[in-house]
Amino acid sequence: MSRRRVLLSWSSGKDSAWTLQVLRRDASLALVGLLTTINESVQRVAMHGVADELLAAQAEAAGLPLWRIALPSPCSNDEYEARMRAAIERAKQEQVDAIAFGDLFLADIRAYRERMLAGTGIAPLFPLFGADTAVLAREMIGGGLRAKLACVDTAKLPASLAGREFDAALLRELPANVDPCGENGELHTFAYAGPMFARAIPVEHAGTVVRDGFAFADLRFARDRR
């Protein structure tokens, strides 16, 4: 029996990385690539602000090809959907059976993704959906996932948290109204090590840029990359 060919929607963050780990436990699935949206003007992961070179290092460490979707900035929803449809058409041509997403509990986002794939012959998968995010955050950390905060919403968290390690100490510091996994957009991360990667990505926090209500950590390859 042939395995289902699965493309993983990849944000560069912890939820995507943990979704990869979960998918790889399923022997009926074959991962074929990581699908990522890139801000084409700055060559960074959309929303997370992670540099393309770090994204490429993740894909290499995961042993999977990277499918980049270049987006203009600003990007209208019509333009976003047009470029996403082009990626879905490529996936159909490459006989992809499903696209997996790391969404946790936002029903409207899930419904939107389901609508985008409706009638394409490609199924949406949501391996983490419905998980208790407090439990899931501890499971990720306990399972060896390592990540740094790449972006924080300064209306909900202090800018000083950008670049911080996503660990048990951080979870204890988060306000009660902030989701432990940042599912409401409070925080975004860059996963640099864990069981889903063949090797850790040496990364350091080189400063923080505050723009448009968000604090972005300038994450770079560590100077000492031995």
Cβ partners under 8 Å of residue 93, min gap 6? none
Alpha helix segments (H runs only) across the chain: 14-24, 52-62, 77-93, 107-117, 133-142, 168-173
Q: Is the pLDDT of residue 225 over 60?
A: no
Give the model confidence (pLDDT) of 13-40 as tens digits: 999 999 999 999 999 999 999 999 999 8
Q: Is the pLDDT of residue 47 over 90?
A: no
Residue the block writes with tokens 């003007």: 41
Average pLDDT over residues 128-140: 98
pLDDT on residue 148: 98
Cα 36 to the chain's mean position, in Å? 8
Give the model confidence (pLDDT) of 179-214 as tens digits: 999 999 999 999 999 999 999 999 999 999 999 999
| Residue 192 contacts residue 148 (beta carbons within 8 Å) | yes
Average pLDDT over residues 43-68: 94
Q: Is the pLDDT of residue 108 over 80?
A: yes
Domain boundaries, the chain: 4-125, 133-221
Of 3.40.50.620, 2.60.120.620, 3.30.70.20, 2.30.30.220, the CATH number of 4-125 is 3.40.50.620
**Confidence band of 224 (pLDDT split at 50, 70, 90):** low
pLDDT on residue 223: 77
| Residue 20 contacts residue 53 (beta carbons within 8 Å) | no
Q: Is 163 exposed, middle or buried (0-12, 13-18, 19+ CB in 10 A)?
A: buried
Q: How far apart are CA 212 and CA 222, in angstroms?
A: 27
- Please report, in angstroms and rounded to a whole number, the separation of the first and last CA atoms in the chain: 43
| Residue 220 contacts residue 209 (beta carbons within 8 Å) | no
**Confidence band of 138 (pLDDT split at 50, 70, 90):** very high
Average pLDDT over residues 43-54: 90
pLDDT on residue 226: 47
Model pTM score: 0.95
